[in-house]
Structure 1
Amino acid sequence: MSSVYSPAHEAARQALKEEQQTPIERRLDRVGKSVASWWGPIVVVDFLFGVSLIVVMWTFKAGFPGGVITAAAMVMYGAFRRALVRVKWGGILLLVMFGLLAFLAVESQHNGMPWLQRDFKFFLILLAAAVIATGRINVRSLIIGGMVGAILNVPVYYLHLTPDFYPPYLTGFYGDKNVAGMYYALWGCLGLSVLPKRWHRWWIAASFVLLFLTGSRTSLAAYGAGLAWMYLRPRTGVTFRLGLGAIGYFILKYLMENLSQSSAFGDRKGDDWFRHQIEEAMTAKTHVTPWYGLGLNQGKVLLGGVREAFFHNSYQQAFVEGGWPFLLIVIIAFMVIGLGIFDRRVVIPPVLLRLEGSVVVLLVCAWKLGEVFMTLGAFIILGMCMAHRLGVPRSIFRDAVPAHLQASSAQPLRAGSQVPATERAPRTYLQEQQDVDVPV
């Protein structure tokens, strides 16, 4: 019997693994592979998690927002699933984030601000990101569920089955037109990962229509920026990428200022005047904020001494609530891990490219919307980026292969023979995914 690794050994390994599994375990194993291939069976529970994201801002009678309930359910359910991915430096990243939560609690207490409820929400969405990053949630099912929920939200809204706080703009279960716009832009990018290529142009067109119905000019610009990133990213290196980012900033600023004058969005003079007042108040509050911040729940301003308004800029909100530590950690997490701004590779797998486009949507929306970064939707995308940028697949059944099926270390490899499975360098999650990815 040959002692070198061969396809026959791999077939025997697979047969032994299936013998040791129950029918349910065999199905879960096939489902796990679909996390890497983005093509396969849909996991109903994970699909429902995605659908539930339409009520992410909905406050239920118990006082809990829908996003917190979904995050808690994902964490509890994921705890009973085995991890398919090991995230490099995952322990260090968790320690940094837990350290940030502790810092926010201490500095909020120092400023006399309540912090427990908001800090606990951050803790939950962080755990949800970790569950996704370790492959415990089938992300394809999650994305498809989110897309289906976003589509169902349209007829439900126009049939007047949901509250309507911003008529005539599409809100539905999302509650706010800007929140709705951000999520429709995110699904517009993520949907390109799970749809066949021949459907891409139709999905992009449908996403622009839905974004127009929300009336969110920022989300329209963010989606355009995300698509532009997905087109230009494989064609530019790091230096040109940074330059394009600077150019994109001025283009977006110009477009949003001119979109505000477009009659297609109706008469928005009063709305723009109110937003300008909020921006001036935000800037004034930012200037008096110490380096450590003013504490959690300070991301709001008082207009005219009588009306309270939340921040319309997530960067300023992070600085005011947690100072430079909060702002810098958030920016590093989304720009370095999420966007891969310093990634020197030009060619990356299509799935990661779509995820980077989604991160661009978040970065642009955060410029004109409050509470973008520390939300379940943002951390779901961050968890996916961690899995695909830093993840290494776990070989759960490698040690279960009998010795006579493994290559002998005493036998030298002949020319042209394959490296034994037990001696191969671990492949990254992206390398595994790239081998089986459906062309998009």
Structure 2
Amino acid sequence: MSGITLQVPPVGKLADSPDGESETGGLFHDVRLLEFLLAIVLFAQTAVPGLPVSFPATYLAMGVLLVVAAMRHPRWPLTPLNGYVWAFAVLLGYYALVSATGVQSSGAGDWVRRLIRMVILLFFVGALASGRLHFPSIIKGFAAGLVANVVLFYAGVAPHPYQDFLTGFAGDKNTAGLVYAMGGLLLLTTLKSRRERIVVFLVFASLVFLTGSRTTMAGMTAAALWIIFAARLPALFRLGIGGLLVWGLQFGESRFARIGIFADRSGTDWFREQIATAVTEKVAITPPQGLGLGEAYVNIPQGMFFFHNSYDTLFVEGGYVALILVVGITLLAALRPFRAPTVSWTELVVEGATITLLVCAWQLGEVFLTVSWALLVAAGLQAALMRRADASGGELGEETGIPLP
């Protein structure tokens, strides 16, 4: 089962023409309708009505996509990525062990349901990376859903939990900022025209601005700087520039976070500081093995709130094992600190998007092991498989993955 193809590209790799335009490829080129339509709701955090348990639309869409993937042969075998497969298996097993044997608090989430979602998510990563699912169609559908969310939000149909800040079906404004940033950046990997790349980046950067997420704005700026200046440099220089970006973001956060349209954030920032203080206290009493899934929350006088830091979420739920495995997988698969200076456009963008994700993880409790993370890691792994196939002289056949110039 290969889905419905609106347009089939020629065999082989796509190449940019001298003026920066591509003879093939583009925003509406090479879309498989089935994957495109299912991916439209991948960003949505809204629970699907009519189900006996609360189940977000994003996981239902991933589940259906996995059924589609199961009916297809992999485009690239995952054998070269066995290390990642084992890491995923260890991660799931460890989460299950810690959650089942730990003392769960009365306010903790349903860890079994969380674990099932993780299983779906990690299988989704494998299906995308191996080419069982058509990556450009998934990304374009994901981006189309985000654009539709904008229309529904300003039409008054989608939820407005943060007044005029763009959220809709994406959840809170920081979650919305993350999905708009990742959707826009990963959409760049499917485009061959320089003009389209610039326009898409500016459009999605504007949408991130409308979410009001200052952290995501900083992360997307860091991604642009990385793509332009850093990613083609040797490893030592990349590490240096990465350090400068981190310092620059901290400097900007401390001095410019409350200027202009953000001048009235003192109340919300105070509230976040109360949560951060409680999180610090809970992290301090967490044992090295973690407390189990569903424990990334704190109780303060205003009520119960989930963490606003994904690194702390990993540690409290899964200890050092989860923290090292998840962050390590993200760095090795998507940022690739030890790779050669020469990279493709896709790999360049994936690295920049990884910078954005790592920055957002400072101020958002659910960044790792989410659909945004899954798309990013799958993009990095698929690019590695494509490069390996190309280097070995293997026949690529019909191009079902992200372009590798």
What TM-score bracket applies, with the shorter chain setting the length?
A: 0.7 to 0.9
Pairwise CA distance, 1:437: 4.9
1:329–1:33 CA distance, 2 compared to 1 (3 A) = farther
Once the 2 structures are TM-superposed, how far is the Cα of residue 87 of structure 1 from its aligned partner? 2.9
| CA distance, structure 2, for counterparts of residue 379 and residue 148 of structure 1 | 18
Paired residue secondary structure (1:194): coil
Q: State the identity as a percent.
A: 30
Gaps of 5+ in 2: 15-23, 105-109
Instruction: Report how far residue 132 of structure 1 moved.
Output: 0.3
How many residue pairs end up in the alignment?
A: 382
**Residue of structure 2 aligned with 1:352, choices 347, 350, 353:** 347
Distance 1:26 1:333 in 2: 30
Contact conserved, 2:76 with 2:385, CA < 8 A, in 1?
A: no
Residue ranges of structure 1 left out of the alignment (5+ in a row): 1-23, 396-423
1:366-388 CA distance string (max 9 Å, x none)? 11111101112211221121111
- Residue 50 of structure 1 pairs with residue 39 of structure 2: yes
**Structure 1 392/136 Cα, relative in aligned 2: closer, same or farther at 3 Å?**
farther
Q: Which amino acid aligns with 1:67?
A: T
1:388 aligns with 2:390: no
Query: Between Structure 1 and Structure 2, which shows a larger proportion of helix residues?
Result: 1
The SS at the match of 1:302 is strand
Q: Does the aligned pair in 2 maintain the 1:86–1:392 contact within 8 Å?
A: no
Shift of residue 229, structure 1, vs aligned partner: 1.3
**SS of corresponding position for 1:60:** coil
Match of 1:60 among 48, 65, 75: 48
Give, in angstroms, the shift of residue 361 of structure 1. Answer: 1.4
1:141 aligns with 2:137: yes
Structure-2 separation of matches of 1:128 and 1:102 = 18
In the alignment, which residue of structure 1 is the partner of 2:121? 125
Task: Indicate conservation of the 8 Å contact 2:289/2:320, yes or no.
Answer: yes
Amino acid at match of 2:41: S
Q: 1:369 matched to which residue of 2? A: 364
- 1:215-226 equivalences under 5 Å are 215-226=212-223
Q: SS of 2:41's equivalent?
A: helix
RMSD: 2.8
CA contact (8 A) 1:339 1:356 kept: yes
Whether 1:227 and 2:215 are equivalent positions in the alignment is: no
From the CA coordinates, give the structure whose radius of gyration is larger.
Answer: 1
Paired position in structure 1 for 2:323: 327
Distance 1:35 1:48, change over 3 A: farther
1:390 CA drift (Å) = 3.7
Structure 1 pair 340–392 and aligned structure 2 pair: CA distance change class (3 A): closer
SS in 2 for 1:367: coil
The 2-side partners of 1:283 and 1:26 are apart by 48
Mapped partners of 2:163, 2:327: distance in 1: 34
Structure 1 residue 235: Cα displacement: 3.7
What CA distance in whole angstroms lies between the structure 1 residues aligned with 2:404 and 2:238?
A: 27
Q: CA deviation at 1:393?
A: 7.6
**How much has 1:84 moved relative to structure 2?**
0.6
Distance verdict in 2 for CA 1:27–1:141, change over 3 Å = closer
TM-score between the two structures when normalised by the length of structure 1: 0.80
Distance 1:203 1:365 in 2: 21
Normalised TM-score (structure 2): 0.87
Q: Which amino acid aligns with 1:150?
A: L
One-letter amino acid matched to 2:47: T
Query: Residue by residue, what CA displacement relative to the aligned partner does 1:64-99 show, whole Å, maximum 9, x if unpaired?
Result: 111211111111110101111123433332222112
Aligned match of 2:112 in 107, 116, 120? 116
- CA distance in 2: counterparts of 1:243 and 1:26, whole angstroms: 45
